[in-house]
Amino acid sequence: MTRKSVLLLNDDTHFVQACADAGVDVTVVCSLGQKDFGALSPLPVRRIFVETTESVESVMLGLYRSGIDLQSFDAVYSNDETAVVTAAAIGSLLGAASLSVSAAALFRDKSLAKAALRKAGVETADFVVIDDLCELPDDFVMPFESGVLKPVTGGATYYTTRVRSDADLQAEAERARAERRFRTFVLEEFVPGEEWHADGIVFDGKLIFMSVGGYQETCLQTISGHKWLRTYVCDPVEDANVYDRVRPLAEQVMSVLGLRTGIFHLELFHDQATGRITFGECAARRGGGLVEEEVHHKFGVSLTKAALLCALGQQPEVPGQAQPGAVGSAYLPYEPGILVSHPSNDQLTNLPNVQLAVIEWPIGSSMDPVVSTIMKIGQVMLVAEDREELFRRADEVSTWFKERTVVIPPRATGRDLREWYAMVRASRTRPSS
């Protein structure tokens, strides 16, 4: 039997391991940013270097330069949000299984998704597209009393801000003119409530598995409050009403956006006062952070393995039993500056309730102020009897980690550094509690 072969845009340790476990050959197209960061899968795989996986041209030229047989791939896939459309386009070009280009566009562009869903009767925030924020007219009038401004293809709450007036919006336009990084934005009406997320598997047009969870505070509240993201997974028995309400909405969203086979990460807002559930955004990929680990712990389901099988046209097996208790994750905090030292993964997992720890940034990294939900030293997955204990332990672990992490202050003078070092030495000579 001929081995299956997958082309993966941007390295993904979980996906590469799933391919190895399934006996599937994988060729990884590695982008400049990912190569320089260096957090690549340790497994030996063929890698093709390109400057960016956001460009069909860049990827196709890299493939041609490699001399690889372009007809050898059974599927083209990416778990990287910025490469989903590229993967779909290249799959179409090569005649390999992939997400359709039209579906990829709907999942990638927040305005296209909302327009399609609103037309189908799905509750979403009202919105307008600002084609070029740098050229926002001086007399532009906010269409909503309160709004949220975000890049139309953004992710991780990056460059996402709450705007409450015309002056707020003009200030964001000034920032865009100064930085010239993102230009096309979507301005949405602010939707109140708690933020939920659903991660699921669709096969042949049917939703065969779904995990629903949420954030202790919304992503926007977390970033604007200079806090650290906390997640949890809802229990399908204790929170059966949540699953009952989210499932039909998820089925409709996948149908409208065109995901017939694959995995998804769906964001929703639940207004506790009214019971209203509003679509936020949706991605045709696995959720970030420790979603893979949380879902696997709770349900015994690997979203990554499911993504591979779906890409190859094979239906994943889904266990039906969920583990009792609460599971969630907490991002590990830091102060801006140069990272000098921090507790190890082993020290973290030796703490009560910590099931898994992942440190992502190497010593010597320049830690910038938090502007998105991907900014953290690392993260931990915690288990507990209930959600209250889960968040209490998340607070305690975060405090413990921050107290033992050493960061050189940014833009410090010689005097500042001497005073800082004296404090660090003094803290290390105190008896530990």
User: Which of 298, 324, 350 is the last residue before a domain boundary?
Assistant: 324
Q: How far apart are CA 292 and CA 209, in angstroms?
A: 14
Domain boundary among 81, 98, 115: 98
Give the pLDDT confidence score for residue 374 in this predicted structure. 79
The whole-number pLDDT of residue 432 equals: 53
Query: Which of 147, 168, 189 delimits the end of a domain?
Result: 189
pLDDT at 29: 97
For residue 2, the model assigns a pLDDT of 84
Q: Are residues 349 and 420 in the same domain?
A: yes
Is 113 buried (19+), middle (13-18) or exposed (0-12) by CB count in 10 A?
buried
Residue stretches of the chain with pLDDT short of 50? 433
Tell me the angle at which helices 110-119 and 240-257 cross, rounded to the nearest 10 degrees. Answer: 100
C-alpha to C-alpha distance for 332 and 389, rounded to whole angstroms:
18
pTM: 0.94
pLDDT tens digits, one per residue of 15-46: 999 999 999 999 999 999 998 988 888 888 99
CATH of the domain at 228: 3.30.470.20
- Counting the structural domains of the chain, the total is 4
Q: What is the pLDDT of residues 89-148, one digit of tens each?
A: 999 999 999 999 999 999 999 999 999 999 999 999 999 999 999 999 999 999 999 999
Structural domain range at position 419: 327-433
Q: Are residues 235 and 346 in the same domain?
A: no
Question: What pLDDT is stored for residue 315 in this prediction?
Answer: 97
pLDDT for residue 85: 98
Q: What span, in angstroms and rounded, lies between the C-alpha atoms of 63 and 161?
A: 39
The answer as to whether 310 is a domain residue is: yes
pLDDT, residue 18, reads 97
pLDDT value of position 431: 58
